[in-house]
Amino acid sequence: MNELQVFSELHKFLNGLGSMNYTLAPKSLTLGYKPFSFSGGMPKFATLYGEKRYNCLILHVDPGNQESLKGKMIQKDIQELFHFNIKDMRSFTLKKHEVYVPFEVIHNKDRMEQLKDFVRRQYEIFVSR
């Protein structure tokens, strides 16, 4: 799968998780996803970054808590699952409360399904808080 296919497939998948509000950045291919809530105030769950520098899915596993190490712990799990090291692949600053999955590690349908299962579990945890 090329990176555009991964972006497109993940966009469809994230919208299918539940009622979702998403925003498109004005000058880049960047989409942010917030679960819809009648009470309002739901934080962002995921971001798809299509810019060359990023080209990844970011899961906001503990939004608003920048001191949380939850993202770092989950990052280790996803790196073991897909056999990569984000620090070797990206040079931008990594936040401790986020999880990063570069598009290029999702190079076939099996990996896409594994990623979807992983994201679905994270989404269920996110909305049950």
pTM for the model stands at 0.91
Write out the two tokens for 8. Answer: 């497109």
Residue 113 has a pLDDT of: 98
User: Which CATH number belongs to the domain containing residue 61 in this structure?
Assistant: 3.90.1150
User: Domain total for the chain?
Assistant: 1
| CA–CA dist 70, 91 (Å, integer) | 21
pLDDT (tens digit, 0 to 9) for every residue of the chain, 129 residues total? 899 899 999 999 999 998 898 888 888 889 999 998 766 678 999 999 988 888 999 999 988 888 889 999 999 999 999 999 999 999 889 999 999 999 999 999 999 999 999 999 999 999 887
Domain span at residue 48?
3-127
Write out the two tokens for 88. Answer: 């070797």
List for the chain the helix, strand, coil content (%; round to 5): 40, 20, 40
